Chain A
Amino acid sequence: MVPEQRKKEILDGIRNAVVQYDEDQCVSWCMTSLQEGLDAYETTMKGLAAGMDTVGELYTRQEYFVPELLLCSDALYAGLNILRPHIRPDHAASKGKLLLGVVEGDIHDIGKNLVKTMFEASGWQVVDLGKDVKLDRFVEEQKKIKADLVGLSALMTTSMMAIEKAVAMLKAADPGVKVLVGGAPLNSEIAANFGADGYAEDAVSAVQEAGRMIKKQPV
């Protein structure tokens, strides 16, 4: 049993390493946590994920921007690589499954990649189809994996119109599917007009919106 004070020291170390985008420190603290017998799942959630929560707050307050987010994300994944193999199967169940991609005609994927990071940090399983994804591929993949949410993004006013079509195709294949959309040209009104179930302005709010959308689902 790890003494509470030591446990707090380790988790704080991991959290701070993520916030301060210090990959080496993050790896070192995660290895320490395993060596000293901390539960890998608890370390992930209270160390790495908690750190990413703080990063999200800093981004919202415009203290962090995309470069900082990317390096924090690097530190997060470095830590996850250490901890993941040690997470017990009964803790491996995720908060939900997200099918994610940038729609056809658009290669701008930096925002989508940050969305992926924030969801993974929050305990979601993410199936990332990448960028410039043909619309029927979203439908095919959703049929296969039955994700709780499908996340679509676009950065251009032309590719934005592919979102409308993709939402219609997804809903035609499965009227119950929940679609979350985002990207610079969109706003909540456009998202609603496109038939999407949710809209997020950025990667941080996307996780919060996803939480709301999942709660809204009928049991």
Chain B
Amino acid sequence: MARFRQDGLTEKERFEALLHRQPLDRVPFYLWELSFAAVTVGYPKVTTFADPAKSFEAFRRTHEMYDGWHYIYFTPGAIGVREFGGEAKLPTGEYAQAATPVKSIVQSEEDAWNLALPDVKTAGAIPLVMEFAKLQGKHGFPITFSSGSILKVVQNLTGAETMCRWMMKKPKALHRLCRLVADFHIAVAQYLVDSFDRPERIIPLTAAPTESNQVISPKFFREFSLPYQKDVYEKMLAMGVKHINTHICGEQNLNLPYWAEIPMGDPGIVSVGHEVDLETASKVFPDHILVGNVEPAVIQTGTPEQVYELCRICIEKGKQHPGGFALAPGCELPPMAPPYNVWMMRKAINDFGWYE
């Protein structure tokens, strides 16, 4: 059995040291997993989205196995869909990975103007989010919730093509939806803050795939995402939240200057996809904790040696980042990733990730 060097800190201590800008013994391993955890302990993938207690257990055991970072989160998937009155399909098939809207609940401009903010305490899957948050609180984890970016939730409501067309043809209706989604995120955050005694324990997560430049231009990012995302974050920070975790998903090099305008806490946590070079991200976000960015498809299909080498490159770049760094996949860890490849990520940290 391979033996790793003795850690100087626990995962919890390492995570807190990063947040407090204190020195670390080694690079942490942010597994960034969802269904991978469920699969690891023998649950079906859908457990991740539907059963907070089993999901929490799966995360804890998986983190125990791989020395995972002291940060886990729950997502019911297809955020906004059930909360605004729609129906989501959970991933049950062999090749399914994410919850998806059954149909778009906003199909016309009239729908957009008539859609109302739900009572977040009871809406859709928010009770599941709260159940998971209580488990996090009880077991001393940061309290997290995955809010989805502004445009990701709008896309969940309208469908991707409608959202894209409305950017150019019906911008007022789209702005109305962006505002509504921002208000939804703010209301959920307030509900979490009101439910726990110390708001600084809450570390929200936003994942922003729809904002990718594989989909929209930086011009549309600036118009439809930036002002609302900024407002959400400013209001979360005003509630007493200290750190926000943002996943800048996919190819977003052209958007980076705009993301840098958004306050994410002191420090915030920024994860980038493999499409954004860590050295570039480090220059744009020098004060935030940087997370990334091993290409998920290589973790899924590559050889252990390829995964190890990608990790080495990431670690050597990430260790130079002044705000602190955690090794992670560039997006969600593939649910069916070969466990040995995931273990190679941990091994690469052992071999290259020590600070002294």
Contacts and interface: CB of A to CB of B under 8 A. Distances in A.
B65 to A, nearest CB: 20
Contacts of B332: 157
Nearest to B89: A107
A185 to B, nearest CB: 4
Contact of B214 (A105, A113, A157, A184): A184
Nearest to B249: A184
Contacts of B337: 157
Given A184-B214, A190-B297, A158 B165 contact: no
Interface centre among A21, A67, A71 (most CB of B within 10 A): A67
Interface in B58-109: 91, 93-98, 100
Interface string A158-176: 1111100000000000000
A70 to B, nearest CB: 5
Contact of B336 (A103, A158, A190): A158
A158 B335 contact: yes
Interface in A100-115: 103-108, 110, 113
Interface string A87-108: 0000000000000000111111
A65 B95 contact: no
Contact of A104 (B95, B164, B168, B214): B95
Contacts of B297: 157, 160, 185-187, 190
A12 to B, nearest CB: 23
Interface centre among A62, A66, A161, A186 (most CB of B within 10 A): A66
B216 A66 contact: yes
Contacts of A187: 297
B169 A71 contact: yes
A107 B100 contact: yes
Interface size class on chain A is 20 to 34
Interface centre among B160, B216, B250 (most CB of A within 10 A): B160
A194 to B, nearest CB: 8
B354 interface: no
Interface residues of B, number: 34
B160 A110 contact: yes
A185 B98 CA distance: 15
B168 A157 contact: no
Nearest to B219: A65
Contacts of A162: 94-95
20 contacts: A62-B217, A67-B164, A67-B217, A70-B161, A71-B165, A71-B168, A71-B169, A74-B165, A104-B93, A105-B91, A105-B93, A105-B94, A106-B95, A110-B164, A157-B97, A157-B336, A158-B95, A161-B95, A161-B300, A186-B297
A102 to B, nearest CB: 11
A71 B167 CA distance: 11
A5 interface: no
Interface string B108-144: 0000000000000000000000000000000000000
A68 interface: yes
Interface of A: 21, 62, 64-68, 70-71, 74, 103-108, 110, 113, 156-162, 184-187, 190, 193
Nearest 5 interchain pairs by C-beta:
A105-B95, A157-B334, A158-B97, A67-B164, A105-B96
Interface of B: 91, 93-98, 100, 160-161, 164-165, 167-169, 213-217, 220, 250, 254, 296-297, 299-301, 331-332, 334-337
B242 to A, nearest CB: 32
Given A62-B254, A161-B336, A67 B100 contact: no
Contact of A66 (B96, B215, B300, B331): B215
Nearest to A185: B297
A142 B94 CA distance: 23
A86 to B, nearest CB: 28
B47 to A, nearest CB: 15
A70 B301 contact: no
A123 to B, nearest CB: 24
Nearest to A103: B95
Nearest to A166: B95
A60 to B, nearest CB: 13
B154 to A, nearest CB: 13
Given A67-B168, A70-B164, A62 B213 contact: yes
B335 to A, nearest CB: 6
Contacts of A190: 297, 301
A67 B215 CA distance: 8
Contacts of A193: 301
Contacts of A67: 164-165, 167-168, 216-217, 220
B75 to A, nearest CB: 15
Contacts of A66: 160, 164, 214-216
B96 A65 contact: no
